[in-house]
């Protein structure tokens, strides 16, 4: 396959339809500018945190809650902007200092991994401080997620360990043993078709429903395993990432949809909806760009086919970018939860439904800051000065 690193990613912002190249109406630089503008009203300066969400209501757009996790992910995206010459509207280092001032909010090993990841990219000299304060002996026993084998959280932690290792010399902060333990836990969660479980088989919950993995349980391990392979030169990890990337690409919907739930045993889609915009414009591109660069495989087609979904080439023919608000609406979902749940049960027990009713679908008019953060993380480095637009 051709090496995607040799191709201009703006020029290749196109999809394959009926076996032929077809351009899409999407300017990636403009998409990043939209995300940057949309993040400003989501930030609460007096708290030095981003909100949990911003929703459309009869009273207008309303900011709700605060989130340390969403703040970290958003800062990762903003850091990518700065690293590639785009300006961040938020003082990244000031917010990071606030996050590190009191780490009592860290109650999840995934959040700890995200914090390590952020420190590695923004302020590597703070890694020893975080290691001494939080990543100390017995960290896998202190948090419940490793015991439960929660794939997404383990992937975030592994990403953090890998980025920390890449940021400073191993002899200064030896995370190798811990990283390999987490890698082994993730390895046990991958099925023969390349799909990851949501939970380990070691718990009752894992036995009952852990075989099913959401889209996050696929893309975060893809990214984490590519970074782990870079940091520790483990070819088997790269093969795991490749296998999952090819599996989800094979299962991608006809309009580029990245579906919501997968069965790790059968390797099939378990539940299609909601289809989340962040999967289309942020998380899938982030993971597939990473594995493409590491393996020299080309995932351009599924990346940009998925991206076009937010532009109105979706089930509802609905433009999900709101230019006035500088937001991308959260998802297309089933308003009838009973029908959605019944469809999933039929799928799990072998009664596949090839048709999908569109009459119950609607748009969730909400946007969360991490969604725009992942968009920036995936595409800021690809937002070249020379934009690529649809040809007439």
Q: What confidence category does residue 384 fall into, taking pLDDT thresholds of 50, 70 and 90?
A: low
For residue 54, give the 3-state DSSP assignment: strand
Q: What is the pLDDT of residues 102-149, one digit of tens each?
A: 999 999 999 999 999 999 999 999 999 998 888 877 899 999 999 999
Q: Are 109 and 139 in contact (CB under 8 A)?
A: yes
- Give this prediction's pTM: 0.89
Using the predicted structure, report yes or no on whether residue 305 has a pLDDT greater than 60: yes
**pLDDT score, position 328:** 98
Backbone angles phi, psi at 84, to 5 degrees: -115, 15
Cα–Cα distance measured from residue 39 to residue 9, given in angstroms and rounded to the nearest whole number: 24
How high does pLDDT run on average in the chain?
Answer: 87
Q: Is pLDDT larger for residue 346 or for residue 175?
A: 175
Contact 375, 31 (CB under 8 A): yes
Question: Which residue, among 286, 384, 392, has the nearest Cα to 7 in the 3D structure?
Answer: 384
Task: Please check the confidence at residue 352 and state whether its pLDDT lies above 60.
Answer: no
Which has the closest alpha carbon to 139: 179, 166, 192? Answer: 179
- Among 28-42, 46-60, 132-146, 183-197, the range scoring the smallest mean pLDDT is 132-146
Q: In which band, very low, low, confident or very high, does the pLDDT at 85 lie, cut at 50, 70 and 90?
A: confident
| Spatial distance between the Cα atoms of 162 and 226, rounded to a whole number of angstroms | 9
C-alpha separations of 240 from 64, 118, 247, 283 in Å: 38, 24, 11, 18
| Mean pLDDT to the nearest integer, 39-68 | 97
Confidence bin at 391 (pLDDT 50/70/90): very low
Which residues, other chains included, contact 11 with Cβ-Cβ below 8 Å and sequence gap of 6+? 388
Confidence class for position 357, pLDDT limits 50, 70, 90: low
Per-residue pLDDT tens over the stretch 224-274: 999 999 999 999 999 999 999 999 999 999 999 999 999 999 999 999 999
Pairwise CA distance, residues 288 & 9, whole Å: 13
- Max mean pLDDT range (171-185, 284-298, 374-388): 284-298
Question: Residue 392 — pLDDT band, cuts 50, 70, 90?
Answer: very low
User: What residue spans define the domains of the chain?
Assistant: 4-59+68-382
350 Cβ partners below 8 Å, 6+ apart? none
What percent of the chain lies above the pLDDT cut of 90?
A: 76
| Predicted local confidence at residue 68, as pLDDT | 98
How far apart CA 370 and CA 360 sit, in angstroms, is 27
Q: How sure is the predictor about 16, in pLDDT bands with cuts at 50, 70 and 90?
A: very low
CATH class of 4-59+68-382: mainly alpha
């Amino acid at each position: 396959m051709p090496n995607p690193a040799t191709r201009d990613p703006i020029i290749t912002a196109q999809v394959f339809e009926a076996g032929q190249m077809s351009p899409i109406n999407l300017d990636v630089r403009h998409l990043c500018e939209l995300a940057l503008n949309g993040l400003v009203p989501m930030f609460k300066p007096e708290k030095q945190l981003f909100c949990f969400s911003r929703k459309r209501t009869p009273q207008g757009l309303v900011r709700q809650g605060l989130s340390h996790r969403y703040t970290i992910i958003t800062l990762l995206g903003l850091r990518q902007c700065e690293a590639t010459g785009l300006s961040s509207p938020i003082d990244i280092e000031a917010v990071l200092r606030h996050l590190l001032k009191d780490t009592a909010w860290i109650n999840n090993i995934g959040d700890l991994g995200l914090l390590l990841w952020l420190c590695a990219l923004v302020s590597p000299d703070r890694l020893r401080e975080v290691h001494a304060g939080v990543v100390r002996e017995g960290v896998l026993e202190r948090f419940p997620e490793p015991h439960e084998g929660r794939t997404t959280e383990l992937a975030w932690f592994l990403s953090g360990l890998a980025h920390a290792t890449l940021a400073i010399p191993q002899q200064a902060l030896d995370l190798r043993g811990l990283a390999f333990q987490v890698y082994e836990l993730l390895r046990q969660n991958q099925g023969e078709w390349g799909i990851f479980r949501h939970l380990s088989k070691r718990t009752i919950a894992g036995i009952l429903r852990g075989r099913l993995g959401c889209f996050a349980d696929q893309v975060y391990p893809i990214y984490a395993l590519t970074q782990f392979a870079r940091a520790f030169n483990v070819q088997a990890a790269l093969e795991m990432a490749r296998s999952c990337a090819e599996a989800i690409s094979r299962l991608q919907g006809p309009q580029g949809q990245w579906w919501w739930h997968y069965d790790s045993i059968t390797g099939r889609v378990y539940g299609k909806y909601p289809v989340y915009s962040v999967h289309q414009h942020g998380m899938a591109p982030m993971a597939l760009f990473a594995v493409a660069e590491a393996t020299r495989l080309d995932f351009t087609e599924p990346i940009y086919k998925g991206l076009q979904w937010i532009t109105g080439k979706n089930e509802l023919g609905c433009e999900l970018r709101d230019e006035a608000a500088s937001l991308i609406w959260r998802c297309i979902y089933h308003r009838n939860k009973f029908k959605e749940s019944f469809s999933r049960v039929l799928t799990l027990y072998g009664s596949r439904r090839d048709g999908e009713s569109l009459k119950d679908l609607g748009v969730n008019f909400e946007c969360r800051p991490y969604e725009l953060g992942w968009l920036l993380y995936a595409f800021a480095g690809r937002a070249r000065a020379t934009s690529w637009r649809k040809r007439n």
